[in-house]
Amino acid sequence: MDSRKIIFYDGLSSVPHTAEVTFRPETWLIDYEYSDVLFQLEWHISQIKSFEHIGNTLIFRYGEFPQQLLECNDGSLFEELKQQYPQAAFLRTINSEQQIKGWRNLIIASVILVVLLSAAYLWILPGIVGFFITKIPQGTEISLGDRMYESYISGRIINSKQTRLINSFVKKMNFGTDYPIRVTVVESSQVNAFAMPGGRIVVFTGILEKMNKYEELAALLAHETAHVTNKHSLRAIGRNLSGYIFISLIFNDVNGIMSVLIDNANTLNNLSFSRSLEQEADNEALRTLQNNRINQHGVEWLFKRLSNEGQVQYFKFLSTHPLTKERIKNAADAASKQKNYTENNDLKQLWNNIKK
């Protein structure tokens, strides 16, 4: 038993999400997409509160109020769960169909009513919040990014040597942005890098170990800088936390908005962008390499190196920067037309020092 297609309710709204649950010995992993952002939640077996079996439909509730809810229309799952989790408490709290029929009908009616009354609010809200959050003045965004960075970096180990060298690398390039690009290298086996609002970029040592050419590092930094310049991280966070931010906007509570964003700084390395946003960042990365006369094949090389999904260490980057064959092909096509690139000895020397 590996995974099942399900309907998932996050406990914060009545919107159903088409999702997939993966069953593990101690936890269930729930993956779903909402407003072009991919989410992954973890349910601990001990926190699954109740279980209902109605015909072929299985319903699980998780956590304290407001509870998350998982619904699976596969009646055979029950017997498989009993075999895999014979001691699970939630399997001993089954409500009979007769007991819950009236309540289930009431819940369905209530859900339908709530959905009808709030549909416009729920669908329009992310767009409203996204519009307002991108209007934050640049100075405020930079200050916010710095505060989010301080919250995120606390307790993590910084590789000072590589941080210094990569920032020297950054200064040798023209990224065509008004944001101050500041890179921090964090000791981690994760193959990942991500951008914060305002110009902060975090690169894990795991991804540096996998790269072989300075053009790949230039491509990575150009790609993440594009996320900064186009406020992709800010927009994704805004959509993720739109409910909290909307309430703060109603009450003109700017400090409340800042607090919500800072408190969620640790989710930044889990943010995932839509394919359209990734393509936008790819195109700007290619332009940046062109403007710096750096071989644009660096983008293609980076993508091919990180597209090896068979290796577990690549999962984090792939889950937050979804690669497709089309993106790799677009990068290769653009690079094949480039003529005016040269070997940049300064960047090459810095890269060699980074890899030492």
pLDDT tens for 202-254 read 999 999 999 999 999 999 999 999 999 999 888 777 666 655 555 555 555 55
* Cα within 13 Å of Cα(350), Cβ side: 20
CA 308 to chain centre: 19
Tell whether the model's pLDDT for residue 104 goes beyond 90. Answer: no
176 with 302, same domain?
Answer: yes
Which H, E and C letters describe 117-184, residue by residue? Answer: HHHHHHHHHHHHHHHHHCCCCHHHHHHHHHHHHHHHHCCCCECHHHHHHHHHHHHCCCCCCCCCCEEE
Residue 169, both tokens:
């690398």
Tell whether the model's pLDDT for residue 99 goes beyond 60. Answer: no
CB atoms within 10 A of CB 323: 19
Supply the CATH number for residue 17's domain: 2.30.29.30
On whether the CB atoms of residues 241 and 132 are closer than 8 A, the answer is no
pLDDT for the residue 291: 96
Rounded to the nearest integer, the mean pLDDT of the chain is 82
What is the per-residue pLDDT across 273-284, written as a single tens digit (0 to 9) for each? 777 888 899 999
On whether the CB atoms of residues 46 and 38 are closer than 8 A, the answer is no
Q: 230: helix, coil or strand?
A: coil
- Mean per-residue pLDDT, 37-52: 87
187 with 131, same domain?
Answer: no
27 with 63, same domain?
Answer: yes
63 with 128, same domain?
Answer: no
Residue 235, both tokens:
């927009």
266 with 277, same domain?
Answer: yes
CA 329 to chain centre: 24
**123 pLDDT band (50/70/90 cuts)?**
low
Q: Which of 94, 116, 151 finishes a domain?
A: 94
In angstroms, rounded to a whole number, what is the distance separating the alpha carbons of residues 15 and 35? 12
What residues contact 39, with CB distance under 8 A and at least 6 apart?
A: 31, 32, 33, 272
Q: Which of 33, 66, 94 finishes a domain?
A: 94
Q: Which of 94, 121, 154 finishes a domain?
A: 94
156 with 247, same domain?
Answer: yes
CA 237 to chain centre: 9
CA angle 25, 31, 36 (to 5 degrees): 165
103 with 198, same domain?
Answer: no
- Mean per-residue pLDDT, 123-151: 80
In this structure, the chain runs to a length of: 356
Q: 20: helix, coil or strand?
A: strand
204 with 108, same domain?
Answer: no
Nearest Cα neighbor of 29 from 64, 70, 67, 59 is: 70
131 with 142, same domain?
Answer: no
* Structural domain of 43: 3-94
What is the per-residue pLDDT across 288-326, written as a single tens digit (0 to 9) for each? 999 999 999 999 999 888 876 444 444 444 444 556 678
184 with 76, same domain?
Answer: no
pLDDT for the residue 320: 47
- C-alpha distances in angstroms, 102 versus 97, 98, 106? 9, 8, 6
Nearest Cα neighbor of 264 from 152, 174, 348 is: 152
In angstroms, rounded to a whole number, what is the distance separating the alpha carbons of residues 7 and 15? 10
- C-alpha distances in angstroms, 291 versus 220, 229, 230? 15, 16, 18
How many domains, in total, are found in the chain? 3
In angstroms, rounded to a whole number, what is the distance separating the alpha carbons of residues 37 and 26? 26
14 with 112, same domain?
Answer: no
Residue 311, both tokens:
């290796």
CA angle 253, 38, 327 (to 5 degrees): 120
Whether the model clears a pTM of 0.85, i.e. scores above it, the answer is: no
215 with 253, same domain?
Answer: yes
